[in-house]
Amino acid sequence: MRLDPSRSIPSDPHRRFNPLTGEWVLVSAGRRQRPWLGRAEATAGRSRPEFDPGCYLCPGNARANGAVNPAYDATFVFDNDFAALHPSTDQWSIDDGLLRAASERGTCRVICFSPRHDLDLGHMDPADARRVVDVWATQSDELGRDHRWVQVFENRGELMGASNPHPHGQIWAATSIPREGSREDETQRRHLTLTGRPLLLDYARQESAGPRVIEETEAWLVVVPFWATWPFETLVVARQPTQRLSDLDGPRRDDLAGLLTRLVARYDDLFGIAFPYSMGWHQAPYVPGPADHWQLHAHFFPPLLRSTVRKFMVGYELLSEAQRDISAEDAAERLRRATARRSRERATAPAPEGAPA
């Protein structure tokens, strides 16, 4: 049976297939009605100064290892002082039956989005956000000369493990292609072999103007994916054949910068708080040969189910398969209704006590 976009998907418990990972997710929309909806996470006031003398990411301040940041006035990139991967790691391997291990070389860098301590992607001017996009692209190609996988990502908020509220992201480059990259490389390659078309371009065409779309421009689609696992997960897909961030021309980078500021503003408006998330770009691995099967895209994984209530991946989710408590269509509708306007007040005001969903 083909999916008719004019008809609602039944609300009964059902499973949805993720063609990017080859996995299924259980959708149980009725669980939101249960009496206990999860632990309420404490949300501190978010008023921040433009400059914090105690912040190790602000311009001119000393970092934990004693290095002093320059007086940067735009984006700033430096090698992570406590890197998870190192370019000078000795090469070795162990292969003893079921016990296998191998060394991994890599490089980890930090990207400060702005010199201002109080500005994140949702409150930047598009011109400033465009500089972040440019840095993502140039850093990716630079690191891709010596590494097979380059992962651009941002953890926003303490709930997602961000160690500092100064707006920043990271970029890790590894010698090996990790699990998620390998899965997506295999599924996209298989789809191109079977159909002659990139998987995510087919998906973008099928979703266009549909009930899960948050926003679409000539160059980009933002959608709560049909197979979303996290309550308000979104997927950002380039709508023209594109393998890596560096493939984007100027107009598409401008479009992306504006779109990202609007998407993060929508997240913040949804519950009236600075919405925590992990986001990251998946670009084609830096390996020889054509990469026509790969389509550039970004994942946003926010953990909140409603204001200050977190979705936990435990029990059945850990032991069996992912499960979500709100339909992708409902999540998309609520994000579409949220305002995409940047608001200084929304960025600095503390969340109201017991803010409604």
Three-state DSSP at 315 gives: coil
Please count the other Cβ atoms lying within 10 Å of the Cβ belonging to residue 170.
Answer: 17
For residue 109, what are the β-bridge partners?
79, 171
Take residue 123 and report the two structure tokens written for it: 């409150």
Nearest to residue 340, comparing CAs of 274, 259, 273?
A: 259
CA distance 339 to 346: 11
- Is 123 marked active-site? no
CA distance 67 to 115: 17
d(CA 6, CA 3) in angstroms, rounded, equals 9
CA 303-233-137 angle, to 5 degrees, is: 105
Residue tagged active-site, from 117, 123, 147, 168: 168
Q: Contact at 8 Å (CB) between 335 and 249?
A: no
Q: Distance (Å, rounded) from C-alpha 199 to C-alpha 113?
A: 31
267 and 232 Cβ atoms separated by less than 8 Å: yes
- Catalytic residue positions, numbered: 168
